[in-house]
Amino acid sequence: MPNPKHPKNRVVDGVARLVHEFLKRRMEKVESDISAFLNVNPFLLSSLREFHSFHTVRDLAEFLFISHMSQGHATGFGKLVDEKMLPQVFKTIKLNRTVRRERKLSAAAYNEIDHIVNPDSKDDWSLLSVKAGAWTIQDTAAHNLYSAFKQIGDFQLYGKEIVVGVFYGNKDSLTNKYDILKGINPRQQDQFVVLNHVRVLAGKAFWSWLNGDEEQTQEWVLEGTKAGSEAAFTAGVSTVIRDAPQRLAEELAKKYGISLEGNIDWLRLLIAIND
């Protein structure tokens, strides 16, 4: 019988449970009135009708369903990692208002910090700012992060270091924005100071560091996500997803007074949305 306290089982089981719960929440969204949470842009969609080969309301509904759910999945999973997986599986502390007050981390610069890692240690704790992927931050955000991290360095209240953790990708895939937040900006280096207390860790390097330098951590997380998915997706769930685009098509036709059959009347759709 697997030992639940073994490091691998702790990660796999914890991630699986959270992913299962995440997918159940996503499913509840699909089971509701789908059109209620969709914004229909008639100008954009009419311009894309040939690009994506949708002409009927059913074609449009399938496109909207997939694109909207995809965006929601990405946003929701990012929150899952930040708000649940890191604290519950990897025992970080989310830097909320209470923690900031108790730890004397109330300055505005700490708004850019998400977690304290290894929080029970007196000398070996670190601050963590979580990002999803290589393109998560743009130029303005990179400069804001640099300013915040520099101020935190001036306070000398960051523990062992500040880590910017990118949970998918690798160091070679990162944009130069991840250099800028460390104070490395060759075109304006005279305006920057290299921040030696800041590290960027992406992909495998991030997950390993988060879990006490255990190199297999990302593989355990993947195993957990797969197990959570398998537990959530029963035959009934699959039916709900398969039927969702047709339900959405019917909802859109009723909501905007357009025909479910034949080509979309774009002018009628525009008037229904904008007038």
Tell whether the model's pLDDT for residue 3 goes beyond 60: no
Neighbours of 123 (CB within 10 A): 7
Which residues, including other chains, have CB under 8 Å from residue 24's CB and lie 6 or more apart? 232
66: its two tokens:
């997939």
What confidence score (pLDDT) does residue 234 get? Answer: 74
Matching CATH topology for 1-90+215-275 and 92-202? Answer: no
Using an 8 Å Cβ cutoff, are 63 and 51 in contact?
A: no
- Strand order across the 126-131 sheet: 93-94, 115-117, 126-131, 162-166, 198-202
Q: What pTM was computed for the model? A: 0.89
- pLDDT bin (cut points 50, 70, 90) of residue 5 is low
pLDDT digits (tens, 9 = 90+) for 68-118: 889 889 999 999 999 999 999 999 999 999 999 999 999 999 999 999 999
Classified by CATH at the fold level, domain 92-202 comes out as type ii restriction endonuclease, domain 2 (3.40.1560)
The CATH H-level (homologous superfamily) assignment of domain 1-90+215-275 is type ii restriction endonuclease, domain 1 (1.10.3250.10)
Domain chopping of the chain, boundaries: 1-90+215-275, 92-202
Encoded amino acid at 199, one letter: R
- pLDDT bin (cut points 50, 70, 90) of residue 1 is very low
